[in-house]
Structure 1
């Protein structure tokens, strides 16, 4: 079977979607004999890079963010030319904008089944902005438009993959049919709690050994709620000077806020990106506590990776991410506020973090290896291909 992933949510410094695709390619190479993979993404130039049973096509596209390095794929005729050349057995669309519509129309024209992966619950960010600036009437109008848009687009796919049952229930209530739940996973040979002898994150970055080391990995953006994390850390350092240190891996539009926090507290270490999974695993293992402030995550892959490495997670209750937290959430913040998150971190840091992290690591390893995830996913792909009835 030849599978083609088509997405705009991909850049040299992107996170979850890029990891998902790269792990799918690894699974094809290591666990299958004849399957192939094609990836179509926006890039700096038109290019194709071929390797063992995998090809990556980049379509020259304009840059829309210098921090995230995301590009907008506008040359849709180039996408169709690649699909015609490759003739995949199945197309998977990974974003909800113009590329998704192109996947649907090209799939119909070429008689190729198309599935959509609902990676991001994008209406949340827009609704929050509308609520803040436009009031309840405009907010409700936008929500109505979002529901109709999502229903109209995703009902055109043979299946809509969702990484959370609760998110699937929401989309079903909006009228989306053919939903299929699939978890994301972890590369358990890389993300595990056993540290290597030369690993010493504190010594490498000059972090005092008497500090509780907090770690955040992800974009610095409104939709990731990093402003709440930064404000919570300010409050923590005011309550307990010299007790906590924050390590941030990621970049984005809130970089200035992070740099101000670093300057004001002298207790922040920042890496704009970490490309290598083993290096990221070292950072997870080096932290005492992983902090995830997100309230609109569809899955929360970094929280799974942190737990796989034996590092417990603290955050804000009530997101789709709650179901993959494999430790007690009693101490998690119950509201999205800096004070609540600061208190949650403060209280969690007093627990036996090693014991909590070890328990979570065992559970993640048992349930979320990428091999388990892709065995189920490829079975679904096969079912879609076998049952596909081209629309006239």
Structure 2
């Protein structure tokens, strides 16, 4: 198949979307498909990424709220590019404007919308959840729900990476929802990466000895990640137990995070670890990974921790929940730092943990492309 991914939020500067795109280009080509990423950019360009794999950028404006990204400003431009490429299958990689543009394209190819974002959980539920019931919030954001419901009928699939989001969208009247969990890079994450010397070094940075417990946080420093909640939980646990916390991340909320750390010697903030081998050793060397966001669509770092034999402590809502199942870790009541602290204590001091098998990105793309092939065959029979 020739699969065109209309990817509005691809940026060569990195991030989860770039990682996903790179994996898709690699796995898709290995499975015999032609993968084309169609993205907005500063100029019209074609980047060859190996046999049957390329990135095509169309000149478009920068996204005003985040200059690292661009957006598709012209429907005729995007539709003309799709007409020229003649895809067998089309993806819209976000639920926003690009989903509408792909839905409105007049081509015959089947198509899917990929829910790489959960805006209601990331913003609306977080902003107003302490004041209004979720049903009331959904009613107030009915324009977004109408957008999803209307355009979902133009897609063969609305693909979610976790079962919780699939159920919520289906219950809200969104058509054609399906769960296809993502996965970690194969061969990268393993309990064998545990490095006692690195662990001791990280604990020393937290002013703690080697026999203390080491907690890990990884992610953007953004409000929806709820790092202040995690920091409150860690501070509660560490008051009478030798526990250190290292957080790897950067972002617009750095000042807020540093203010919340407030000079605590047992908590350290580091820039993201960009060496993939070192990052794998960091994860495997922790005693548990703690996450605060209930708005994850998959939570890749939780999957990476699970593959590394490290238990996770995550909210009981959102994409991270699936990774805690079957002994992978514990969940706590979302947005509740006291519940998070209790779960941390149980994972670190009261419960044995056994390494869990992890789903890989190869598994994800094999399932995703098999789903697409079914739609293509159905479309060809109908034609």
TM over 0.5: yes
| Residues 251-304 of structure 1, C-alpha deviations (whole Å, 9 max, x = no match) | 223211222244521333334334454332122112111111122323222111
Query: What is the root-mean-square deviation in Å for CA atoms of aligned residues?
Result: 3.2
SS, match of residue 349 in structure 2? coil
- Cα 1:99/1:307, change in 2 over 3 Å: same
Q: State the shift of 1:201 in Å.
A: 5.0
Q: Which one of 94, 113, 116 corresponds to residue 113 of structure 2?
A: 116
Partner of 2:363: 372
- Cα distance change on mapping 1:197 and 1:216 into 2, 3 Å: closer
Change (3 A) 1:332 1:168: closer
1:270 aligns with 2:260: no
- Residues in 2 aligned to 1:390 and 1:297: alpha-carbon distance in whole angstroms: 38
How many residue pairs get aligned? The number is: 377
Unaligned ranges ≥5, structure 2: none
* Aligned with residue 182 of structure 1, among 171, 180, 183: 180
- Give runs of aligned pairs for residues 11-160 of structure 1, distance below 5 A: 11-12=11-12, 15-29=15-29, 31-32=30-31, 34-52=32-50, 53-59=52-58, 60-64=60-64, 69-106=68-105, 109-128=106-125, 131=128, 139=137, 141-160=139-158
TM-score relative to the length of structure 1:
0.83
* 1:49–1:55 contact (8 Å) kept in structure 2: yes
**TM-aligned CA distance change 1:247 to 1:80, over 3 Å:** farther
CA distance in 2, matches of 1:138, 1:178: 25
Residue deviations 1:8-61 (CA, integer Å, cap 9, x gap): 3333455443333222222123x32x4211112344544321121211123443
Provide closer, same or farther for how the CA distance between residues 8 and 248 of structure 1 changes in structure 2, counting only shifts above 3 A.
Answer: farther
CA contact under 8 A between 2:218 and 2:301: conserved in structure 1? yes
Q: 1:288 to 1:330 in 2, by over 3 A?
A: closer
Separation in structure 1 between the aligned mates of residue 247 and residue 7 of structure 2, nearest angstrom: 27
Q: Provide structure 1 residue ranges, at least 5 long, that are not aligned to the other structure.
A: none
**Residue of structure 1 in register with 2:240 after alignment:** 240
1:382 aligns with 2:379: no
User: SS of the residue aligned with 2:102?
Assistant: helix
> Which deviates more from structure 2 when the two are superposed, residues 210-219 or residues 153-162?
210-219
Task: Find the residue that maps to 1:157 and give its secondary structure.
Answer: coil
Matching residue of 2:225: 224
Checking the alignment, whether the CA contact within 8 Å between 2:162 and 2:179 is kept in structure 1 is yes
- State the distance in 1 between where 2:258 and 2:174 align: 42
> TM-score scaled to structure 2, two decimals?
0.85
| Superposition deviation, residue 116 in structure 1 | 0.7
Which of 180, 191, 194 lines up with 2:192 in the alignment?
A: 194
Structure 1 CA distance for aligned equivalents of residues 150 and 371 of structure 2: 23
* Distance in structure 1 (CA, Å) of the matches to 2:42 and 2:151: 28
Match of 1:5 in 2: 5
